[in-house]
Amino acid sequence: MIKKADHSDIVEQIRSLYGIPEGVLEGFHFYETGKSVWCSSVEIPPEYLGLKKVDAPGMRAFRKVNGHLKPTTFFLQVIGCHATRNIVCLQRDELESLLKDGYIRIDRNDLLNGYVVIRYEGSTLGCGLYRDGRLKSQFPRGRTEALARSGLF
């Protein structure tokens, strides 16, 4: 069933975690279905809220994982360029290791344990999970394979 998500709560979580400036998320509407939070640039008419079968009411922005919101790679690619906190900018060798092994060790004291924005050469690649000096890739399998084969690094 689709329902309107608490816009101010979601925006506040995004802003506090990633330092996204006020105004960047204006015009975004958030909706919940099951374990997903969706983002849309259009407001869903009230008569459609409550429908039981809605495939994709926008772009999936988050998945609910153990009581936390895990941002999707695609959502971070949209807003990640505005992030000012919890960002990991990788060097070529670090990205290669992350794609090959699924994780790397990094020594950072400016990151909170949790989901972070991963960048390479200024571009947001997607989501990582940082915990106690270890960065684990949260890229979708297809994205990981495409990056590894791309020859971009």
- Name the range with the highest mean pLDDT among 50-54, 118-122, 147-151: 118-122
More confidently predicted of 130 and 54: 130
Give the model confidence (pLDDT) of 72-114 as tens digits. Answer: 999 999 999 999 999 999 999 999 999 999 999 998 989 999 9
Give the model confidence (pLDDT) of 37-65 as tens digits. Answer: 999 988 876 776 766 676 778 899 999 99
pLDDT of residue 152: 65
Mean pLDDT taken over the chain: 90
What is the spatial distance between Cα 149 and Cα 143, in angstroms, rounded to a whole number?
10
89-104 burial code (b ≥16 CB/10 A, e <16): ebeeebbebbbeeeeb
25 pLDDT above the threshold of 80: yes
pLDDT of residue 140: 84
pLDDT of residue 45: 67
Beta bridge partners of 68: 65
Mapped onto helix, strand or coil, the DSSP state of residue 122 is coil
Chain centroid to CA 150? 22
12 pLDDT above the threshold of 70: yes
Token pair for 99: 């794609």
Residue reference for tokens 């200024």: 122
